Each structure stands twice: as structure tokens, then as C-alpha cells.
Amino acid sequence: MAIRLDHVTAELDALFDLDAAGPDTAMSRHVPRVFDEVGFDWRGFVEPGFSQRFNGLMRRGLESVGAVYGACLPSAHVLDAWLAVARAGDLLITHHPIDVRNGSPVHDVWAEGFVPIAEEQLQAIAARGLSMYSCHAPMDISLEVGTAAAIVEALDGSVVGRFWPYGDGHAGFLADIAPTTSDRLVHHASELFGVSLVEVEGAAREEITRVAVVGGIGDHVDQMAVAERLGAHAYLTGELHVRIEGDYGRRKFAEVERFAATTGMTLIGVSHAASEHLVIETQLARWFAGTFGVTLRPIREAEWWR
């Protein structure tokens, strides 16, 4: 069933209250930087509104949308997979408008952080009349279709508080869950996010009933401390350590290690992409089914840690 692109984007904008939101703090820095570094005219590729707020419709293709796809990141793998099956007018919705490579604990790989979409992929998207929509901070703070909200829902938890001021709300959710142990919660996280390696630091606990949840990058020790003061027994995020090569990344890594040595919480990392992809396959997919009667087709990363 084809739907009008403007109808889809209007409903998404309303869902995430984009008209009231200010420019995305993180993406308004990183998007211009990574494209300017490679000399690509990103403003000529994106919609005028996106170049101002860095959320919403990023690239306008044909007016009639056939299939809707979703992913956390527009990585090279995701875009190749999409371009292999997409037809003119199809829409890709991502949480981030650009890729991010924050390294991997699997082989202790350190990486470069945010990177631009390859020019040849952008040209293919434009030539084939495809559309792209991205929603970053407003999706992080949303209680209805949100990166943290989806994790709380998957844990069958109840939101009892918020922390980590971010955008126009809070990126961190505090949730009460049925009693569990550190070992069981780690095993549950591995299955829930489909990751073979879960990064675990901090204290092992025999009873956990309150979890602090942050999608994506969670390596801010000041916010970890806030979560602990609010009664969290465990802290579940995408990345406990952001392995970005350079002085900044090494300093942040050491800060988390020092915090982990003293905290009473169990600290759990499941990878940036996996933690924020969950909302695509659950809450956003349900929203599309209920709002448009459309099945959202998720595209997973080949490797969650990278």
C-alpha cells in the first residue's frame, strides 16, 4: 500500500514533536563537520529544514512511498542492504543521520567516531528517488517511541524517574523491574540485543530491582553517579566505553574504569547500534502498523560492535 511521503513525515514530526524541538545539539555539530572534512556539499543533498534542525526528513525522494525500512545507523552495510532491495520512492528511517564507529571490545578495536555517508551511496539514493528520515535526540527522550523507552519495555519495567538532561528532555530512564541477579540480567541483555559479547563492569549483585537505562553512548560517569544516587542497582547502556582513538577517548575510558572500581552498580554495555536499534523493531514498527497499516522492514548491522 503506497502512502504519501508528506503524510508520513508530518505524522513522524508530530510523534517526536519536532516543530517544538530546537536544533539537535549533537548532530548539528557532527553532520557538518564530517561532510565538510571530505568536501561534500551536504546542504545540497539534504532538505532545507534538515540543515536547520538536523532531525526530520533528510532526503526527499518520490512523493509516493512504497516500502518503509528502519535502522539505527545509515552505515555502509545498512545502506548497501537497503539499496540492494529498495524501489523508487521507498523510505529509510534511521536514528542517526550519519554513521558512528566507536570501536569494539571484541578485539579491543579503537575507531574514529562519526563518519560521513559515502558519496557514491548518496548519489545512488538521489538517483533512485529514495527518501531518508532521521530522528536523533527527540527519539532518545521519547516515552512512546524511544531508544531508552524501548529497552525499559523489553525488560518489562516501569519508569519511575528520569536522568541525564538531553535535548528537550532526559535521555536516561530509571525503571523498576522484577527481581533478578547481575548474571541473569547480563544473559537477558545478550539475548535481547542479539550480541554475543556483553561488556560488564562494576559490582556483581544478587538482587537487582532498579535499572538505569541509556541508549547509545553511556560513558558519562557523572550521569552514572546520578543514576546510582537515584537507587539504580544496574546501569544498562549501549557503550560503557567509547573507544575513539585519541586523547579524549583514552581519558573517557580511564574515567569509566575508575568509576567501575568503586560503584555498587552492575554496568552493562550491549553496543551502541544494538541498544538503539531495538526501538526500530519494536515501538516504531508498532507505530507504523497502527498509524498506516504498514510493515516496517528493519535492517540490522552485520556486526553490532565496530
User: Judging by beta carbons within 10 Å of its beta carbon (0-12, 13-18, 19+), is residue 37 exposed, middle or buried?
Assistant: exposed
Cell of 163: 536522568
**Residues with Cβ < 8 Å from 8, sequence gap 6 or more?**
65, 68, 91, 133, 292
Dist CA 115 CA 118 (whole Å): 9
**E strands, 72-141, where?**
91-94, 99-101, 113-115, 131-134
Dist CA 267 CA 237 (whole Å): 8
99 annotated as ligand-binding? no
What are the two backbone dihedrals, phi and then psi, of residue 56, each rounded to the nearest 5 degrees?
Answer: 100, -155
Cell of 75: 552505515
Secondary structure string (H, E, C) spanning 213-229: EEEEECCCHHHHHHHHH
Reported as type and span, the H/E element at residue 164 is strand 158-166
Please report how many Cα atoms fall inside a 13 Å half-sphere around the Cα of residue 289, on the Cβ side.
Answer: 10
How many angstroms separate the Cα of 259 from the Cα of each of 28, 106, 201, 224, 228? Answer: 30, 22, 9, 8, 11
63 annotated as ligand-binding? no
96 annotated as ligand-binding? yes
Dist CA 192 CA 150 (whole Å): 11
140 annotated as ligand-binding? yes
201 annotated as ligand-binding? no
How many angstroms separate the Cα of 306 from the Cα of each of 113, 269, 300? Answer: 10, 13, 13
Annotated binding site for a divalent metal cation: 95-96, 140, 272, 276
Annotated binding site: 95-96, 140, 272, 276
